[in-house]
Amino acid sequence: MKPRSLIFSAILFTSLSASGGNFPGHRGAQFNGTASEPQPTLPDTFSPTENVAWKTDLPGPSSATPCVWGDHVFVTAAVKETKKLHAIALQRTTGKILWSKPLADGFALDDKSNMASPSPTTDGKTVLFFFGSGDLFALDFQGQQKWHVDLLEGSKNYFSFLWTFSSSPTIDDGKIYLQVLQRDVPFKQFGLQRGDPDTKDIPSYVAALDLATGEELYRVTRPSDAVAESREAFTSPTPVTIGERRSILIAGGDDLTLHNESDGQEIWRWGTWNPNRIGHWRLVPSPVTGDGIALVCAPKKAPIYAVDLETGKLAWKSEEAEISSDVCTPLFYKGHFYILNGERKQKHLSCVEPKTGKILWTGDLETRAKIECSPIACDDKIYFTDHNGTIFVISASTEKYELLHRTEFGSKKVKKLRAGIVPAHGNLFVRTHDALFCLGKN
């Protein structure tokens, strides 16, 4: 029998090789923020006017990270004037809009985000678009609809969620994994009904759908002892291989759980980072795995927790105040975690050993703006943006913190930028509210 490490390495190599220079979803082919590599033509320096292959105006804002496959780039947009949620495909080499489909009704439920925030994802044949309205659409690369599922089943109410629901779907081995972690009771916010007012007990759940048909394969209730907003999570399902078993990690509701991918049944549960059951600790960062460890971030400047994937037991937790993340999902790259703390007065990026939690370095990013963009790595560089559109390129060296490049993509009207910076096919794709940039040479 092959050692487990060799089996995992083979799976990792096969997945990365199959995807080439593609970036199929918001955390990449390995669900950990790593892009396919090598991509030796990525630009060393860039700006809104330097090393721009093309720029395409978009009909509305979105915080969704673009996904890239072959000659297609997929993005979403919420159009304020028409109150429509669009799925958009652009030609990767030219930026030409190939199609823009107004698929669902809606724009925003609050002033923090909009209903086009979940990121699109693809397996190379089918591309998924999910919206805060509860609508999940499967389209082919020509923009033809394959199927549509309404997770709210036609209800005029919204998810039992304080802000705008925006968990992204995950594709793995022909299945779609979705999580809906929400409050267990209905309520009103901003004058809008959240959850069915006639239902006394609203479940949170994990579901799997068939990618080809949209048929629901299973839906399992995920119980929680959390209260109020702490039951809510913006996180997304994270597939992981443990030995020869494929499983799904779910973070939220004050706990981290591992589920069997075949039927959704819970394998283990670790928790909690919230023993006092604080009621406003919604969870935003998704779990990330590496070197046998699952990393989960407690909210509101609380610690990072590392859980052993085999046993479900706590391996370590962070002690230093800088090692925390309220919004940004950490990165696992070339054997190390990179944790982006974008909430404190001083924003930090830290390089951490997975098994021990040892901090190899912490760098001060020297920005006063919030950072809610999750870092993405490629060819020994780490990319992300702050709220005001300042893009950072940091060395992924384990020796020291080094800022390689910093440039401004924001403006007075372009703020609260959260979309990931995507390296794909030798270019960088940068989504602002009203445009998509392709950086580098085509």
Q: What does the chain come to in residues?
A: 442
- Whether residue 6 is predicted with pLDDT greater than 50 in this model: the reply is no
- Per DSSP, the residues of 223-282 read -----GGGG-B----EEEEETTEEEEEEEETTEEEEEETTT--EEEEE--S-TT--TT--
For residues 426 and 417, is the Cβ–Cβ distance under 8 A?
A: no
Q: How far apart are CA 388 and CA 21, in angstroms?
A: 28
Mean pLDDT, the chain, integer: 93
Number of domains making up the chain: 1
Rounded mean pLDDT, 55-64: 97
192-205 pLDDT, tens digit each: 999 999 988 999 99
393-440 pLDDT, tens digit each: 999 999 999 999 999 998 766 678 999 999 999 999 999 999 999 999
Question: Sign of the CA dihedral 38, 351, 28, 67?
Answer: negative
CA dihedral 381, 385, 391, 394 (to 10 degrees): -30
- Domain extent, residue 138, equals 4-439
CA dihedral 385, 386, 388, 391 (to 10 degrees): -30
Phi-psi region of 115 (alpha: psi -120 to 50; beta: other; left: phi over 0): alpha
Q: Estimate to the nearest angstrom the gap between the alpha carbon of 382 and the chain centroid.
A: 16
pLDDT at 20: 57
Q: How far apart are CA 227 and CA 238, in angstroms?
A: 24
Three-state DSSP state, 364 = strand
| Domain CATH for 8 | 2.130.10.10
226-259 pLDDT, tens digit each: 999 999 999 999 999 999 999 999 999 999 999 9
**With bands split at pLDDT 50, 70 and 90, how would you rate the model's confidence at 17?**
very low
296-332 pLDDT, tens digit each: 999 999 999 999 999 999 999 999 999 999 999 999 9
Which tokens sit at 8? 């995992």
